[in-house]
């Protein structure tokens, strides 16, 4: 429990209207004016702290979005390269011998190319 040594007494001059508004709010909340003022001051300080944390989070979010955009561009490049390689491999296999191994590879290449198409952004 707090004692008088935990507090510093201070005189505070308030405009009449503000004094009345605080008195009414304190009365409505079943508190003393002192408790109402202290509660509101503490809330305003917490709000400033929350605002600072939110700014830090927004900054980190922007950094992560930039990193994600870069990763997406790299992935798009990889998909394009894989598509070109699969196309070239498929063409080379289709010109070669038509044995069972080549047929399986051609089938796998076709499946992979379909997957590449499905994951590539549509070009409108």
Q: Is 112 exposed, middle or buried (0-12, 13-18, 19+ CB in 10 A)?
A: middle
The mean of the pLDDT values for the chain is 86
48 within 8 A of 39, measured Cβ to Cβ: no
Question: Mapped to the 3 state alphabet, what secondary structure does 65-80 carry?
Answer: HHHHHHHHHHHHHHHH
pLDDT digits (tens, 9 = 90+) for 77-96: 888 888 888 888 878 777 77
Cα(12)–Cα(33) distance, integer angstroms:
12
Whether this prediction's pTM lies above 0.75 is answered by: no
The domain limits of the chain are 16-119
* pLDDT of 16 strictly over 50: yes
pLDDT band for position 124 (cuts 50, 70, 90): very low
Cα(44)–Cα(37) distance, integer angstroms:
11
pLDDT digits (tens, 9 = 90+) for 32-64: 999 999 999 999 888 888 889 999 999 999 999
116 within 8 A of 82, measured Cβ to Cβ: yes
């Amino acid at each position: 429990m707090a004692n008088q040594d935990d507090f510093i007494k201070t005189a505070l001059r308030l405009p009449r209207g503000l004094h009345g508004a605080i008195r009414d709010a304190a009365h409505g909340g079943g508190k003393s004016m002192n408790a109402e003022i202290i509660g509101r001051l503490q809330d305003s300080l917490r709000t400033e702290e929350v605002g600072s944390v939110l700014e830090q989070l927004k900054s980190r979010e922007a950094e992560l979005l930039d990193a994600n955009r870069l990763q997406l561009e790299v992935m798009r490049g990889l998909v394009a390269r894989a598509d070109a390689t699969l196309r070239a491999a498929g063409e080379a296999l289709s010109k070669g011998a038509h044995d069972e191994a080549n047929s399986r590879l051609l089938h796998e290449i076709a499946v992979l190319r379909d997957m590449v198409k499905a994951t590539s952004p549509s070009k409108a």
